Amino acid sequence: MHTENFSDWLHDHVFDSSSHAAEKSTRIVMWITFAMMLVEISTGWWYNSMALLADGWHMSSHAVAIGLSAFAYSAARRYARDPRFAFGTWKIEILGGFASAVFLLGVAALMVFGSVERILDPQPIHYKEAVVVAVIGLLVNIVCAMILGRVHHDHGHGHDHHGHGHQVHGHQGQAHQAETHHDHHAHHGHPHEAAHHHDLNLKSAYIHVIADAATSVLAIVALIGGWIWGWSWLDPLMGMIGGVLVAVWAKGLIAETGKILLDREMDHPVVEEIREVVEAVSVHGETKVTDLHVWRVGKKVYSCALTVVTHDAGLTPTMIRQAMAVHEEIVHATIEIHVCPDRH
């Protein structure tokens, strides 16, 4: 038995090697995207191609958003041991993902607006130059997707976090000291748990790259169709389709990150598991969880605060904590017990 600072524990377990790899990969992709943005803007200006200029400025928005994701990793790591953050700085990454998703939604709106404008006021397109640069842009996006995709895949198969009881309080007139234990139980996951464990900041950067690749594919199809068959209407049509596709991706990411930022986790399976474990711990009297709050403090870890009403005078917070240890994702629990007189 030993004690340790909770923020230090979160830093060591949440900011693991995969987080550092994600930060490094995001920075690399940011600079690659920025370089390609400069190429497209300068080429578009040189060839007087509005299509290339528009795509270049469109890519600049992705560079900014991916840069925001990289900054979120840096800020979260920098302030990870700051005691002012009660449950660590992991949500800085989530906030970065949310802001990036909102940015992506704005990009989608601009794409649709620009496409409608092109339909109403067609502009001449330098097809040959535009196709060449669009293909180069697609290749760059594929490389960036591979860089981020490898890390994104590793996050989904990361190591399990071990249980950690910290600052468990009783409501029976005595203070229970903080205890730290690292149990080696099998991880009790769920079939859909992988979706909850994704690094959403990394996912936001990944979606930006995928969205840019998808729009590049649509742009290439539209440009070739206009170049060979003279279908100038295909360019704005593909732009609108791409904008809708990007908006759908952005909406899903906003919902995921917003759920965590607002602590809307009470529908997670672990909530019912906590309730079942706690209510089954006592064998000498009825025990009920009357108040339960669960929220996420890391990629795979949760904190909870609960109030228990029981007829078992011998029930202690330590007994409840030991029963909850089977669920390794619960790393912090505050427990309050109310003992009621036995019924006759």
Mean pLDDT of 291-320: 90
The structure tokens 């389709």 sit at: 241
Which value, in Å, is the radius of gyration of the alpha carbons in the chain? Answer: 26
Report phi then psi at 2, rounded to 5. Answer: -155, 165
- Local structure of 296: helix, strand or coil: strand
Residue 244 and residue 108 in contact, taking contact as beta carbons nearer than 8 Å: yes
Model confidence, pTM? 0.73
Main-chain dihedrals φ then ψ at residue 299, nearest 5 degrees: -60, -40
Name the CA dihedral angle for 335, 191, 17, 93, rounded to a multiple of 10 degrees. Answer: -70
pLDDT band, very low/low/confident/very high, at 103 (cuts 50, 70, 90): confident
Domain boundaries, given as residue ranges, for the chain:
6-160+192-261
Q: What does the alpha-carbon distance between residue 204 and residue 154 come to, in Å, rounded to a whole number?
A: 16
Instruction: Give the alpha-carbon dihedral of 154, 157, 160, 166, to 10 degrees.
Output: 60
Angle, vertex CA 161, rays to CA 155 and CA 164, nearest 5: 150
Average pLDDT over every residue of 141-169? 61
pLDDT attached to residue 187: 38
Mean pLDDT of the chain: 77
Give me the torsion for CA of 57, 60, 64, 70, rounded to 10°: 160
Which neighbouring-strand residues pair with 339? 310
**What fold does the segment set 6-160+192-261 form as a domain?**
Alpha-lytic protease prodomain-like (1.20.1510)
pLDDT score recorded for residue 301: 86
Angle at 205 between CA 112 and CA 46, to 5 degrees: 60
Q: How confident is the model at residue 238 (pLDDT cuts 50, 70, 90)?
A: confident
Reported confidence tier of residue 166, pLDDT bands at 50, 70, 90 = very low
Report the alpha-carbon distance of residue 204 to residue 67 in Å, rounded: 11
Task: Note the pLDDT of residue 13.
Answer: 52
Query: What does the alpha-carbon distance between residue 339 and residue 294 come to, in Å, rounded to a whole number?
Result: 23
pLDDT for 133 beyond 50 = yes
3-class SS shares of the chain: helix, strand, coil, % to 5: 60, 10, 30
- Of 321, 324, 331, nearest to 296 by C-alpha is 331
pLDDT at 9: 52
